[in-house]
Chain A
């Protein structure tokens, strides 16, 4: 199956800082999605981004499918950004990375 690797595994930021999360995938994929899992376990859609760049407020994402990676940018981080960020890549089945655990401290 497709291997999805995320880095870094853990990240601690001061409120207001910027960060970049990376997702590498082992094979060509049809689709890529970024999720935020809040402390209660709910997975929240951030971006559906098989290729190109999208922005939503303080968050943006870029996928370069030919080079098999995607990046999630968080600017001016807030404490509510804390949680685990997952990317998921889909071919015939659906594969999640192991996540980046983000803690934003005030």
Chain B
């Protein structure tokens, strides 16, 4: 049983560029979550999907952020017109409805640096 995987692990981009991250959840996990973590802070919830439906979005998810999970499997998080304040670790997690629906398993994260 492979864990949650994220790609890329590190991304350096210039301000104003668009970036896209990918998350592959644990197979058969139908819930997928995105979080952002800045230095010295706990992860902050961004959004979550159940299958392909996006059920919750945080106010942190500005118009420049969009997340998709088109077939209910992997998910992508896109940030448009990146700003230096977007520099953070972006974490993905998954869980399985019907088992312990809120027990989340995290991927290794994508560290974004905006220069």
Contact = CB atoms under 8 A, between A and B. Distances in A.
Interface residues of B, number: 24
Contacts, number: 55
Interface of B: 33, 35, 37, 40-45, 48, 56, 58, 89, 91, 93, 100, 102-106, 108-109, 111
B45 A45 contact: no
Given A33-B103, A93-B58, A86 B42 contact: yes
A95 to B, nearest CB: 7
Given A33-B103, A93-B45, A95-B45, A41 B58 contact: no
A83 interface: no
Contacts of B45: 93-95
A98 B56 CA distance: 22
